[in-house]
Each structure stands twice: as structure tokens, then as C-alpha cells.
Amino acid sequence: GESVGLHLPTLSVQEGDNSIINCAYSNSASDYFIWYKQESGKGPQFIIDIRSNMDKRQGQRVTVLLNKTVKHLSLQIAATQPGDSAVYFCAENMANQAGTALIFGKGTTLSVSS
Amino acid sequence: NAGVTQTPKFRILKIGQSMTLQCTQDMNHNYMYWYRQDPGMGLKLIYYSVGAGITDKGEVPNGYNVSRSTTEDFPLRLELAAPSQTSVYFCASSGDGNYGYTFGSGTRLTVV
């Protein structure tokens, strides 16, 4: 089946830098996308979502960009902090079909050094 | 609100044994899901449910069974444990029209 993938398995940044985590999706029918953060030993936590009728959505220190033309999704974290170190997953869902579930990518491990 | 609660947190099974992973949520969510996460990998959907009495297979259902007799509970059953089922299992829930899932903290299962 179709799946969501991430470009890089790991990303290392310095504290205070901006981080950009990328994701490519293959299902052109997907119309809802979510970024999750998973810390070691914990379940995934919701960060931010975006629907396909939007190109950009901002949260607190995070921004998600959606490029439907090339089926690309990115998560930008401003002023990255050591507490941002985690595995980040993008996920897609076809929001208009009852009963479907999120499809997750493999994840990018973000390491933030002081 | 406790959110999504999974028990046990850890379990070691012998090949051929059976067990039930428990999942309960107190948010009155209709949708519930079971995922497994292998080391270094993303989450794979095992089973999901859109409401009490309704369940459906996900990407990797073989070797598992589920039931949904109440809105709150969604147990996952392993009948004949195999080493390939060694994984971390996550339960999640979401309300109607809300696709931001709430995840439990996971059950780490080892089959030896």
C-alpha cells in the first residue's frame, strides 16, 4: 500500500538553531496531515496538524508547510531546545472516509546539543 | 481525565503463550486503534474500531484479535505468541471528526 516516508532518519542541530524535518507522502487523496513527537519510552504526542486546503499553519515555535504539488510536508521548529530531542513522525489520513486510520512514516530522530 | 491507559507496561511471553493487552480511555471517544512499533520504525496499524461492536483490520492483523464491547475498552489478544510479535504496542483513540489521536504510553512485549 501507499505509505508516508521521511527524507532523513536523523538530524543533529545546536541549541538555538532552527530545525526543519521533511516528509514525502505518496497518497494524493490524503487531505489531512499530522506531526507527532515521540520521546524515549513514551507514546507519540500530537504537535500540529494541517488540512489540504492550507499551505501553512503555525503553532507555538512550530510551523508546518504543505506542498501538494510535490506531495511534501515539513515541520519547522524555531529556536530548537534540548527538550525537542525526540523522534518526529509525520502521518496522513483521508479525513473524509469514515473508518480510515493514520498512516505513519518511519520517523526522524532529532538530536539537540547544547 | 486519565486519557488512554494501557496495561501492562512490560511483559515477557514464551512462544505459544497467549495474553491480552488492555486499553481503556475515559474521553468517550468512538475511534480506537492498536499500533505496533518495531525498533527504528514507524507505527503499523493492527486493528481499529469506529465504535462499540465494530472492529476492522489494519495493515498487520495476523496473529491478533480484538473486541470492542464498550466505548471505553479495546483489548488486543495474542493467541499463540511468536518471536515476530516482539514489539512495542500502542493504543490510541480519537473522537468523531477529531483526527489528532491520543496515545497511551505503550506496552513493551518480548516473546522468547
> For the segment B88-108, what is each residue's pLDDT rounded down to a tens digit?
999 999 886 556 789 999 999
pLDDT for A2 beyond 50: no
pLDDT for A97 beyond 90: no
Chain position carrying cell 503463550: B17
Residues 70-89 of B with CB under 8 A from A: none
Three-state SS string over chain A comes to CCCEEECCCEEEEECCCCEEEEEEECCCCCCEEEEEEECCCCCCEEEEEEECCCCEEECCCEEEEEECCCCEEEEEECCCCHHHCEEEEEEEECCCCCCCCCEECCCEEEEEEC
Distances (CA, A) of A71 to A1, A50, B101: 16, 13, 23
For chain B, the C-alpha Rg in angstroms (whole number) is: 13
Beta-bridge partners for B111: B13
pLDDT grade for A86, boundaries at 50, 70 and 90? very high
Mean pLDDT, range A8-32, rounded to an integer: 90
A101 and B58 within 8 Å at the Cβ level: the answer is yes
A28-55 tens-digit pLDDT: 888 889 999 999 888 999 999 999 999 9
C-alpha cell at B101: 489521536
> What is the nearest CA distance from A114 to chain B, expressed in angstroms?
25
Q: Which residues of A70-93 are buried (b: 16+ CB within 10 A; e: fewer)?
A: ebebbbbbeebeeebbbbbbbbbb
